[in-house]
């Protein structure tokens, strides 16, 4: 494995909000245009695409991503339809460019006009016959994994909650965050928020919001002519343990999900975790942050919340984490949500954060998915 | 035997539930139970399996107490459990007729069928008998 000669040269992000009165296709197109402008490129140059086809219109046949040719009025040389967002989308695009399947790939996603004021987003309530009858939903799957940890290790609840309050307070100060201006929160506020699926309270859980984002991937050669500082992808890897949200997922099987992906990512990047200046981790809930730091090997199983409380995850802490407010406070746009980790890492590495800016970060770790989903992915992005 | 039509893969599970019987696939080749039903045994990839009745006794591997019921048919709060059945297979269900404060990891539970939204479902109750 060598460090790939691949970079992100453009990012685009639309307004993020609880509900946006347009369509998913329209808001995705807006994010695409912003990413192209940022990269100094025209759509004519883009010959690779990874994005879900949301409809309406188009076909139900796979690969659904080809339906986007009807919107952009042009053919593509490469389409990525396996998991066309977040880190898997990024890595697939990087592989496609490396192999010459395309020269410039765009990855995008998001949603608009779908959530309205639903209490729960549709995509969090799978309709499987062995899941639906029990009133199961995504947060409850994750809660059952976390419950074992909470009972086995009895973490200090205030220290655990301080992870949520830190991340949410970063979002409070970020004008682009959906929860901008809300808070500040104390750890006590997190515990006092309504219980949703124990051990999680409302403020432990990620948002379900609307908005879109896009990023453009190409070779480091092509990146030299782009207006923005190129952000290199130094390494990345995925773990697919089992299909998500069907059969029971158990703490003892998934507690270290990501360990192998981290190992391969750091090896390919020729870095180790101590070299990371910035952590943009998938915060579907508070505890997943703890689990990821334990899986990274920075602390022992059961000690994560104490470790993070003592070292700090805020902008001035030892491990700056989810600097935009994360999925807890910035936004979580359904299948477009995983892209947001990449967007914030690129902004920080460029020195263009919309909220709190970390001083001169060089290497960022970005992650996606988590224990309850039974798959996980990681990548290292860098200014070097 | 696996059904000829994959769409019928889980039909027997629900048909037996109507008679208040909890069944799960048991592999005739490696003799292990698995769940949910699949065309091939996930342990040995044999297609030679059949549904067999479970004792319905097990223990709670994990649970969550949910305070946001999807609709008014649910009590508030309600308890979702991940049950380890004594034949060595697992399924999600709901724990009924209990006070949420009674729920514990490792707690013995037994199946208890009840009609919910016009369908006979294998819920569980606290206790062995």
Residue B103 to chain A, least CA–CA distance (Å): 12
Contact between B64 and A195 using a beta-carbon 8 Å cutoff: no
Whether A182 maps to a domain, the answer reads yes
Strand order through the sheet with A6-13: A78-80, A48-50, A104-111, A211-219, A6-13, A231-240, A375-382, A363-370, A278-280
Percent above pLDDT 90 for chain A: 92
- Average pLDDT over every residue of A70-90: 96
CATH number, residue A275: 3.40.47.10
pLDDT number for residue A61 = 84
Q: Is residue A260 domain-shared with residue A342, that is, in the same domain?
A: yes
Would the ipTM clear 0.90, i.e. be above it? yes
Whether A39 maps to a domain, the answer reads yes
Q: Is residue A314 domain-shared with residue A184, that is, in the same domain?
A: yes
Contact status of B43 with chain A (Cβ, < 8 Å): no
Q: Is the pLDDT of residue A1 over 70?
A: no
Selecting from A130, A143, A195 the residue whose C-beta is nearest the C-beta of B92 gives A130
Pick from A172, A194, A223: which residue ends a domain?
A: A223
Residue B52 to chain A, least CA–CA distance (Å): 18
Q: Is the pLDDT of residue A295 over 50?
A: yes
Q: Is residue A67 domain-shared with residue A150, that is, in the same domain?
A: no
Q: Is residue A111 domain-shared with residue A202, that is, in the same domain?
A: no
Q: Is residue A378 within 8 Å of A236, Cβ to Cβ?
A: yes
pLDDT number for residue A228 = 98
Contact between B70 and A125 using a beta-carbon 8 Å cutoff: yes
Selecting from A125, A134, A196 the residue whose C-beta is nearest the C-beta of B92 gives A134
Q: Is residue A240 domain-shared with residue A336, that is, in the same domain?
A: yes
Q: Is residue A99 domain-shared with residue A149, that is, in the same domain?
A: no
pLDDT number for residue A59 = 86
Among A33-42, A226-235, B7-16, which stretch is predicted with the lowest mean pLDDT?
A: B7-16
Selecting from A137, A195, A248 the residue whose C-beta is nearest the C-beta of B82 gives A248
pLDDT number for residue A100 = 97
The chain A residues in contact with chain B (CB within 8 A) are 119-120, 125, 129-131, 133-137, 140, 143-145, 147-148, 151, 194-199, 246-248, 250-251
Mean pLDDT of chain A: 95
pLDDT number for residue B128 = 80
pLDDT, tens only, B26-69: 999 999 999 999 999 999 999 999 999 999 999 999 999 999 99
B1 pLDDT band, cuts 50/70/90, is: very low
Q: Is the pLDDT of residue A369 over 70?
A: yes
Contact between A134 and B80 using a beta-carbon 8 Å cutoff: yes
Q: Report d(CA A86, CA A94) in Å as an integer.
A: 12
pLDDT, tens only, A207-224: 999 999 999 999 999 999
3-state helix, strand, coil in chain B (%, to 5): 10, 40, 50
Pick from A196, A223, A250: which residue ends a domain?
A: A223
Whether A149 maps to a domain, the answer reads yes
Query: Which residues, 6+ apart, have CB-to-CB distance to A181 below 8 Å?
Result: A172
Q: Is residue A70 domain-shared with residue A83, that is, in the same domain?
A: yes
Whether A36 maps to a domain, the answer reads yes
Query: Which residues, 6+ apart, have CB-to-CB distance to A347 below 8 Å?
Result: A11, A324, A353, A354
Percent above pLDDT 70 for chain B: 95
Whether A369 maps to a domain, the answer reads yes
More confident residue, A81 or A122: A81
Q: Is the pLDDT of residue A243 over 90?
A: no
pLDDT number for residue B3 = 53
Whether A228 maps to a domain, the answer reads no
- Average pLDDT over every residue of B98-106: 91
pLDDT, tens only, A312-342: 999 999 999 999 999 999 999 999 999 999 9
Q: Is residue A190 domain-shared with residue A47, that is, in the same domain?
A: no
Pick from A223, A249, A265: which residue ends a domain?
A: A223
Q: Which domain holds residue A33?
A: 6-117+210-223
pLDDT number for residue B77 = 96
Whether A229 maps to a domain, the answer reads no
Which of A248, A254, A371 should be substituted to probe chain B, the one whose Cβ sees the most B Cβ atoms within 10 Å?
A248
Whether A1 maps to a domain, the answer reads no
Q: Report d(CA A38, CA A14) in Å as an integer.
A: 13
Residue A123 to chain B, least CA–CA distance (Å): 14
Q: Is residue A183 domain-shared with residue A297, that is, in the same domain?
A: yes
Q: Report d(CA A312, CA A162) in Å as an integer.
A: 10
Contact status of B82 with chain A (Cβ, < 8 Å): yes
Domains of chain B (ranges; CATH) run 6-53 (no CATH), 57-126 (2.40.50)
pLDDT number for residue A120 = 64
Q: Is residue A16 domain-shared with residue A100, that is, in the same domain?
A: yes
pLDDT number for residue A135 = 94
Q: Which helix (H) or strand (E) holds A211?
A: strand A211-219
Residue of chain A whose alpha carbon sits nearest to that of B36: A247
Percent above pLDDT 70 for chain A: 98
Residue A13, SS3 per DSSP: strand
Tell me which residue of A306, A241, A311 sits closest to A276, measured CA to CA: A311
Tokens of A126: 């799978």
Q: Is residue A253 domain-shared with residue A278, that is, in the same domain?
A: yes
Domain count across chain A = 2
Mean pLDDT of chain B: 93
pLDDT number for residue B6 = 60
- Average pLDDT over every residue of A267-287: 98
A175 pLDDT band, cuts 50/70/90, is: very high
Contact between B74 and A135 using a beta-carbon 8 Å cutoff: yes
Q: Is residue A217 domain-shared with residue A187, that is, in the same domain?
A: no
């Amino acid at each position: 494995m060598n460090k790939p000669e691949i970079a992100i040269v453009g990012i685009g992000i639309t307004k993020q909000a609880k509900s946006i009165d347009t369509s998913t296709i329209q808001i995705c197109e807006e994010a695409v245009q912003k990413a192209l402008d940022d990269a100094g490129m025209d759509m004519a140059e883009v010959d690779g695409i990874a994005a879900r086809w949301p409809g309406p219109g188009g076909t139900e046949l796979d690969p659904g991503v080809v339906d986007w040719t009807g919107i952009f009025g042009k053919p593509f040389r490469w389409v990525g339809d396996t998991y066309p967002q977040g880190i898997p989308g990024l890595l697939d695009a990087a592989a496609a460019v490396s192999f010459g399947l395309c020269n410039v790939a765009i990855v995008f996603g998001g949603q608009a006009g779908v959530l309205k004021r639903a209490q729960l987003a549709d995509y969090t309530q799978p309709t499987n016959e062995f899941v639906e009858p029990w009133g199961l939903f995504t947060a409850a799957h994750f809660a059952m994994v976390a419950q074992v940890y909470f009972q086995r290790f009895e973490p200090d609840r205030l220290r655990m909650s301080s992870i949520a309050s830190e991340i949410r307070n970063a979002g409070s100060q970020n004008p682009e965050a959906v929860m901008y201006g809300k808070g500040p929160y104390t750890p006590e506020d997190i515990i006092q928020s309504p219980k949703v699926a124990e051990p999680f309270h409302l403020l432990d859980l990620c948002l379900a919001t609307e908005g879109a984002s896009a990023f453009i991937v190409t070779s480091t050669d092509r990146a030299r002519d782009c207006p923005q500082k190129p952000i290199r992808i130094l390494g990345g890897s995925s773990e697919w343990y089992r299909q998500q949200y069907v059969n029971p997922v158990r703490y003892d099987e998934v507690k270290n999900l990501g360990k192998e992906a981290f190992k391969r990512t750091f090896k390919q990047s020729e870095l180790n975790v101590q070299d990371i200046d910035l952590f943009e981790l998938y915060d579907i809930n508070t505890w997943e942050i703890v689990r990821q730091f334990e899986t990274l090997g920075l602390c022992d199983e059961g000690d994560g919340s104490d470790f993070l409380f003592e070292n700090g995850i805020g902008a001035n802490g030892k491990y700056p984490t989810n600097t935009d407010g994360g999925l807890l406070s910035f936004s979580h746009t359904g299948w477009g949500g995983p892209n947001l980790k990449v967007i914030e890492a690129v902004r920080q590495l460029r020195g263009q954060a919309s909220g709190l800016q970390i001083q001169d970060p060089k290497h960022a770790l970005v992650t996606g998915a988590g224990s309850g989903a039974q798959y996980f992915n990681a990548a290292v992005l860098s200014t070097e | 035997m696996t059904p000829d039509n994959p769409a019928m893969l889980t039909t027997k599970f629900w048909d037996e539930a109507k008679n208040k019987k909890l069944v799960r696939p048991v592999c005739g080749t490696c003799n292990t139970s698995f769940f949910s039903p699949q065309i091939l045994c996930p342990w040995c990839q044999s297609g030679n399996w059949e549904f067999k009745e479970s004792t319905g006794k097990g223990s709670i591997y994990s649970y969550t107490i949910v305070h946001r019921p999807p609709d008014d048919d649910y009590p508030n709060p309600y308890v979702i459990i991940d049950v380890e059945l004594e034949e060595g297979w697992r399924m999600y269900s709901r724990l009924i007729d209990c006070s949420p404060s009674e729920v514990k990891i490792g707690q013995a539970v037994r199946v208890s069928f009840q009609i919910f939204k016009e369908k006979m479902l294998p819920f569980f109750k606290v206790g062995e008998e």
